[in-house]
Chains A and B, each alone.
Chain A
Amino acid sequence: AAAGGGGLAPEMRATLDKVVGSHKVVLFMKGTKDFPQCGFSHTVVQILRSLDVPFETLDVLANEALRQGLKEYSSWPTFPQLYIDGEFFGGCDITVAGFERFGAC
Chain B
Amino acid sequence: ARAMGVTKEDVEAAITSSLSPSSLVVTDTSGGCGASYEIEVVSEKFEGKRLLERHRMVNTALAPHMAEIHAVSIKKALTPAQAQPQPEPAADKAPQ
- Which chain A residues have a beta carbon within 8 Å of chain B's beta carbons? 40, 75-78, 88-94, 97-98
Whether B72 lies near A78 (C-beta < 8 A) is yes
Q: A90 to B55: give the CA distance in the assembly, Å.
A: 9
Q: A78 to B52: give the CA distance in the assembly, Å.
A: 14
Q: How far is the CB of A62 from the nearest CB of chain B, in Å?
A: 20
- Within 8 Å CB of B71, what residues of A? 40, 78
Q: A88 to B53: give the CA distance in the assembly, Å.
A: 12
Whether B75 lies near A76 (C-beta < 8 A) is no
Whether A91 lies near B55 (C-beta < 8 A) is yes
* B56 adjacent to chain A (CB < 8 Å): yes
Q: A91 to B74: give the CA distance in the assembly, Å.
A: 10
- Which chain B residues have a beta carbon within 8 Å of chain A's beta carbons? 51-52, 55-56, 59, 63, 66, 71-75
Top 5 nearest A-B pairs (CB, nearest first) are: A77-B66, A93-B74, A90-B52, A77-B59, A94-B51
- Within 8 Å CB of B75, what residues of A? 93
22 contacts between A and B (CB under 8 A): A40-B71, A40-B73, A75-B56, A76-B56, A77-B59, A77-B63, A78-B66, A78-B71, A88-B52, A89-B52, A90-B51, A90-B52, A90-B55, A91-B55, A93-B55, A93-B73, A93-B75, A94-B51, A94-B52, A94-B55, A97-B51, A98-B51
Of all chain A residues, the one with the shortest Cβ separation from B54 is A94
- Within 8 Å CB of B73, what residues of A? 40, 92-93
Q: A98 to B66: give the CA distance in the assembly, Å.
A: 24
